[in-house]
Amino acid sequence: MIVCERDKPMIFGVHHIAIIASSEASVEFYSKLGFVETFRKERAYDTVVLMEGYGIKLEIFVDPNHPKRETNPERLGLRHLSLKVDSCKEISKVYKCGPIGKDWVGENYCYTEDPDGLVIEFHE
């Protein structure tokens, strides 16, 4: 159990990660990563898709009319989604990642992007 300061709410962890996507291609991308669709709701202006995998919940808003994300310089907001993997070398073969690097403590990582340019980090 997490102990917190008096009069502060308790936080137990991340509930979900919300992503705005331009098309169903993003849902297919996350399905390929191993996330499973658990809920879908069509609304007048978008489609909400809930997915789960690896103890992570995604809330994807599919909206083909949403403005594009600026990328240069790096945008504010969600910087990347990091997924733990057993081998960056092997996952790079499937997801066409950039070069494998070392993080602050010497662990391997690499990056790819989902169909809308959201950076996905694979981390050993």
Specify the CATH superfamily of domain 15-64. Answer: 2,3-Dihydroxybiphenyl 1,2-Dioxygenase, domain 1 (3.10.180.10)
Q: How far is CA 26 from CA 4, 11, 89, in A?
A: 37, 29, 23
Q: Are 70 and 109 in contact (CB under 8 A)?
A: no
The CATH number given to 79-124 is 3.30.720
Mean pLDDT (the chain) is 86
Domains of the chain, residue spans? 15-64, 79-124
| pLDDT tens-digit map of 1-52 | 454 455 666 656 677 898 999 999 999 999 999 999 999 999 999 999 999 9
Give the model's pLDDT for residue 33: 93
Element (H, E) at 57: strand 56-62
